[in-house]
Amino acid sequence: MNRKTLTQYLVEQQRTHQTVPAEVRLLIETVARACKAIGHAVSKGALGGVLGSLDSENVQGEVQKKLDVLSNEILLEANEWGGHLAAMASEEMETLHRIPNRYPKGEYLLLFDPLDGSSNIDVNVSIGTIFSVLHAPHDAPGRDIEESDFLQPGSQQVAAGYAVYGPQSMLVLTLGNGVAAFTLDREMGSWLLTEENLTIPEDTSEFAINMSNMRHWEPPVKRYIDDCLAGSTGPLGKDYNMRWIASMVADVHRIMTRGGIFMYPRDERPSGKKGKLRLMYEANPMAFIVEQAGGAALDGEARILDVKPQALHQRIGVVLGSKNEVERVRRYHQED
C-alpha cells in the first residue's frame, strides 16, 4: 500500500495551508525520530536493562524510572543541535534547558513529558511521549530565554502531539488544522499516515477515572460519576463502561479512537486542590489535540487552552473527550 510518510504529510500541509513553517516541519520530524528511539528502548524492556527505578526524584517529587531519564536525554540530545529551538522544558527537569551556545538557535520552544505513564513501564502496558511547540516571544532574539517565555496559554500552541508505545507505535499530531495519526513501520523505520482526520464522537458511554479517589472528589464530579453508574435507569438513560489505564497517553488515545471521557479532576485533598496533571506538559497539548478532533477539554469549568500559566510545572484538573459529556460535567460544576 502506498501510504504517505510523515515528511510527505508535513510538506503537503506546508504547501496547502501555508501554516507550517519549514522550521516547525523539521522540528516535528526531529521529535518523531526521537520518539522512534524511545519506542525502540521501551520495546527492549528487560533485555535492554532499562526497567526499574533510580535512586532519584524529579522536580515533582516522583521517583524516576530509568526509562524516564533515558527518554528525557534522547529528546534533549535530538533537539539541541538542529537550530529550530530557542529552549526546551521537560516534566523531568526543574527548569528550562537552553540551547548550548555551540549550536544555532531558532524561534520555537519545545515542552515535553518524555515518558507518560511511568507507573506502567515495568508491567508492559502502553506508555507514551507528549510534546508541545510554542513560538518564542518576538523579543527573544539577542537575549537568554527565561521560564516566563514558556508561560503562554495553550491556545497559542503551534503544534502538539503524542506518541504511544503499544502493540503498534503510533504518533498523533495536530498543527492546528485537524488531527492526523501515523503508525511506525518497523521494517521501513518510517512513520506512515494511517488516519488523516481523527474525529472524537460527541456522545459516549465510556468514562475513565481513578475510582479509588472517589472520597476526595468535588461534589459535581461525584454527581456525574454517580449518574453514569446509575445506568439506563438513571438520569443519563444509558449504561456506561469504566476504563482506567493510569497512562494518560493510552487513555486519551482510546478516546481519540472511539470516544469517551477522561477525568483527572481536582479534589479536596491539599495535594489535589489545583489538580494533578501538568498544564504545560500534559493538559495543554492533549487539550489542543482533543479540541482539534472535535472534542472538549476543561479544568472542570473553564477551557484548559484559555488558562494563563503561572509556573512551568503548574498542575491543573483535567476533563476531556467527547464534547457532550464534557459539557455535562461543566454544567454540573456551574449548578453546584
Any binding-site annotation on 120?
no
State the average pLDDT over residues 65-89: 93
Q: What pLDDT score does 54 carry?
A: 65
The pLDDT of residue 106 is above 70: yes
- Summarised one tens digit per residue, pLDDT across range 23-72 is 999 999 999 999 999 999 998 878 877 677 765 656 665 667 788 899 99
- Summarised one tens digit per residue, pLDDT across range 191-203 is 999 999 999 999 9
Any binding-site annotation on 113?
yes
Work out the pLDDT band at 121, boundaries 50, 70, 90. confident
- Residue ranges in the chain assigned as alpha helix (H): 6-17, 22-44, 66-80, 219-229, 248-258, 284-292, 323-335
Any binding-site annotation on 212?
no
Is 85 buried (19+), middle (13-18) or exposed (0-12) by CB count in 10 A?
buried
Query: pLDDT: is 89 or 271 the higher one?
Result: 89
Strand order in the sheet with 127-135: 97-98, 85-90, 108-116, 127-135, 159-165, 169-174, 179-185, 190-195
Any binding-site annotation on 144?
no
- Summarised one tens digit per residue, pLDDT across range 260-289 is 999 999 999 988 899 999 999 999 999 999
For the whole prediction, is pTM greater than 0.85? yes
Q: What pLDDT score does 55 carry?
A: 57
Q: What percent of the chain has pLDDT over 90?
A: 79
Q: Are strands 108-116 and 85-90 parallel, antiparallel or unpaired?
A: parallel
State the average pLDDT over residues 280-300: 97
State the average pLDDT over residues 111-138: 91
Any binding-site annotation on 92?
no
Q: What pLDDT score does 16 carry?
A: 84
Range of lowest pLDDT (53-67, 75-89, 123-137, 206-220): 53-67
Any binding-site annotation on 51?
no
Structural domains of the chain sorted by starting position, each given as residue range(s) with its CATH number in brackets: 6-195 (3.30.540.10), 206-335 (3.40.190.80)
Closest CA to 291 of 129, 130, 155, 195: 155
Any binding-site annotation on 247?
no
Closest CA to 263 of 292, 220, 200: 220
CA distance 252 to 77: 27
Q: Are strands 169-174 and 127-135 parallel, antiparallel or unpaired?
A: unpaired
Q: What pLDDT score does 198 carry?
A: 96
What is the pLDDT of the chain when averaged over all its residues?
Answer: 92
Any binding-site annotation on 210?
yes
